[in-house]
A and B are shown apart, each in its own frame.
Chain A
Amino acid sequence: MNNNEKMLASDALGSRLFVIGGMLLIVAGMIFGDLYAVFILHPNVDRISAALAGAASAISSHDVDTVWRNFAQLGGYLENAGTKKDTHVHIIQVGYLALLLAFLQSRVRLNDRLKVVLARLFLAMAVVLPVSIFLIHYVGLVYSPLESIGWASISADLSGLLLAFIVLIQLWGLMGSARGRPEAAPISPALGEIGWLLLKGGAVLVLLGFLFGAWYAGVQMQTHEARELATLGEIIGQAHGADQAATDQSLLAYGRLQGERAVSIAAHAHMVEFGILAMMTSLIQPFVYLSLAWRRRMAVLLLTGGAVLPVAVYAEIWFGLLAGGVADIAGLLVIIALTGMLAGVLRHTGALDSQGSQA
């Protein structure tokens, strides 16, 4: 058994759990992200705009109760969208972490049984955390002992804390190993043709994501923040003066500004995240038990989807839902590629188990 196979062998259960669990979490997070974009994000934008327009209209008629009623609805819509986005982000982030921890298990100086317990606990909390975040909007403050934090938030907070402790234990185990005699075997597998393709493509995506983020933070971000306050001031001033046409224009400008801001941040974040994902999947290529041709197809799909999605998200500023549709399809390409790779990893573990039982 070579070094690569040792990582997925049935007696290295901790690594195997982290690899398969990590990939499942990332795939689940991506599917959730696509569903969120199609069914929640876009319809929610219309509801938020309508609630804000309702509040602005109530200024003209001096109806304070209607203002508060519209903002109560607006808060609900924002919480609905925000918790869904946080669910998506947190599933993927803990999935990435699980996949990386798989490679570090051979260097974590801890008892093998403890490693398996920690891997199981990590994966359990990696499910509890996003599910709890998802439920925050629905559970609210029902039966909560606290004034502003509900049971779903408490569950999310505690699972996040437990995950942090597991990471600290892994760090402690690694520091023990780092102080010891250096091991001859490399920590990660040698990369083949597909691994190099993913590594190079991923690194380019990360760099482009950094450059876009730097441009946004340096040129656009503060302008957007200043424009938001100015536009809100215009809305209330125009609504107070009962200038309906000007108020409608300002509401439109406010919606456009929020859209520009959201897609700029999303384009930056997705570019970096897909770059990291491509680089990460370069390391698992030796465990993907598929033919070279199929692995190449999966790698090309992943890189294509990872490059197109952020561009399409940003293009929503000009092309609206058409670009949004392209982004959703690009997301689907990444999901297909990852699912294919996961199937290859599962085939690999099956082959190793079968060899083990025959030996």
Chain B
Amino acid sequence: MSATQKLLILAGLGLVAISMLYGFYYAVFDEHQTLEKIGFSMANGFAKAAEGDLAAAQASLQAYAETRIEYLREVHGHGHMAALGTLLILMGLFIDHIIGLEAKRLLISWMMVAGAVLLPLGAWLDVLVPAPVPKVLSVAGASCLVLGMVGVIFSLLFTATENND
């Protein structure tokens, strides 16, 4: 394996493993409690309104909205890390076919790896750390991924395709 392949494949498998372990931890220790809290706070909002207590109903709906955002960020962090890890492994398998220069390969690979780490990290931190740090991480991660893929497509357009068929 070339240095670029090692970087992409090992980082990709590492991210997939972390995502799976996080998924296990989340499913066992957090998901059920969070889903129960989401369901209870929304239902309680309606129940309080039926009792005529609109202030308590609004407070309960606010709790619902906050918990739902927390749930979505945690699930998206897990899903994005697994999918981006998969993409890194895949890129590791074909990058040597499409980009000739090792320096260019490394640059694009590092951008993809940085994006694949920063984007899910930004999603997870969104409910833990006050703005703007999580947003900055997510935007930086997304930008790295988009630029990296543009680099891949640009290289694909100018690669002399061998024909083995």
Contacts and interface: CB of A to CB of B under 8 A. Distances in A.
Interface string A129-170: 000000000000000000011000100110011011001101
B146 A236 contact: no
A213 B1 contact: no
A89 B5 contact: no
B93 A100 contact: yes
Contact of A191 (B28, B39, B94, B142): B94
B48 to A, nearest CB: 8
B45 to A, nearest CB: 6
Residue among B6, B20, B51, B96 with most chain A CB within 10 A: B20
Contacts of B17: 164, 167-168, 171
A188 interface: yes
Nearest to A182: B1
A210 B96 contact: no
B87 interface: yes
A96 to B, nearest CB: 5
Interface string A189-211: 01111111001100110110011
A149 to B, nearest CB: 6
B118 interface: no
A31 interface: no
A55 B49 CA distance: 10
Contacts of A87: none
A71 B97 contact: no
A97 B46 contact: no
Contacts of A59: 46, 49-50
What is the interface of chain A mostly: helix, strand, loop, or mixed? helix
Contacts of B92: 187
Contacts, number: 193
Bin chain A's interface residue count: 35 or more
Given A100-B86, A182-B1, A193-B165, A149 B28 contact: yes
A50 interface: no
B142 to A, nearest CB: 5
A81 interface: no
Contacts of B51: 62, 64
A100 to B, nearest CB: 5
Contacts of B89: 100, 104
Given A171-B14, A236-B45, 6 more contacts: A68-B43, A171-B17, A191-B162, A200-B156, A207-B150, A280-B90
Interface of A: 55-56, 58-59, 61-64, 67-68, 71, 74-75, 78, 89, 93, 96-97, 100, 103-104, 107, 148-149, 153, 156-157, 160-161, 163-164, 167-168, 170-171, 174-175, 177-178, 182-183, 186-188, 190-196, 199-200, 203-204, 206-207, 210-211, 213-214, 217-218, 225, 228-229, 232-233, 236-237, 239-240, 269, 272-273, 276, 279-280, 282-283, 286, 292, 295
27 contacts: A55-B46, A62-B50, A67-B50, A89-B79, A100-B90, A100-B93, A107-B1, A148-B32, A160-B24, A167-B20, A174-B9, A174-B10, A182-B1, A187-B1, A190-B162, A190-B164, A191-B162, A193-B163, A203-B149, A206-B87, A210-B149, A214-B142, A214-B146, A236-B45, A240-B54, A276-B87, A276-B90
